[in-house]
Amino acid sequence: MRKFLPAILLCLLALPAFSQQSSDNPFSAINKAGYRRTKGILLRSAEKMPEENYNFKPVDTVRSYGQIIGHLADAQYLFCSLASGEKNPGLNIEKTKTSKADLVAALKEAFAYCDKVYESMTDAASLQMVKFFGNDAPEYAVLQINVGHNMEHYGNLVTYMRMKGIVPPTSEQQGAMPAQKPADSQPKK
For residue 123, what is the domain's CATH number?
A: 1.20.120.450
8: in domain: no
Q: Smallest Cα–Cα separation from 146: which of 170, 117, 120, 104?
A: 117
d(CA 79, CA 147): 10
Q: Which residues contact 11 (CB under 8 A, 6 or more apart)?
A: none
41: in domain: no
CB of 118 within 8 A of CB of 31? Answer: yes
29: in domain: no
Structural domains of the chain, count = 1
d(CA 40, CA 169): 9
- If DSSP codes are grouped into helix, strand and coil, which group holds residue 59? coil
What pTM did the predictor assign? 0.80
pLDDT in tens, the chain (189 residues): 455 444 443 444 444 444 445 578 999 999 999 999 999 999 999 999 999 999 999 999 999 999 999 999 999 999 999 999 999 999 999 999 999 999 999 999 999 999 999 999 999 999 999 999 999 999 999 999 999 999 999 999 999 999 999 999 999 855 444 444 444 544 444
12: in domain: no
23: in domain: no
Q: What domain range includes position 142?
A: 49-169
d(CA 57, CA 47): 17
9: in domain: no
100: in domain: yes
22: in domain: no
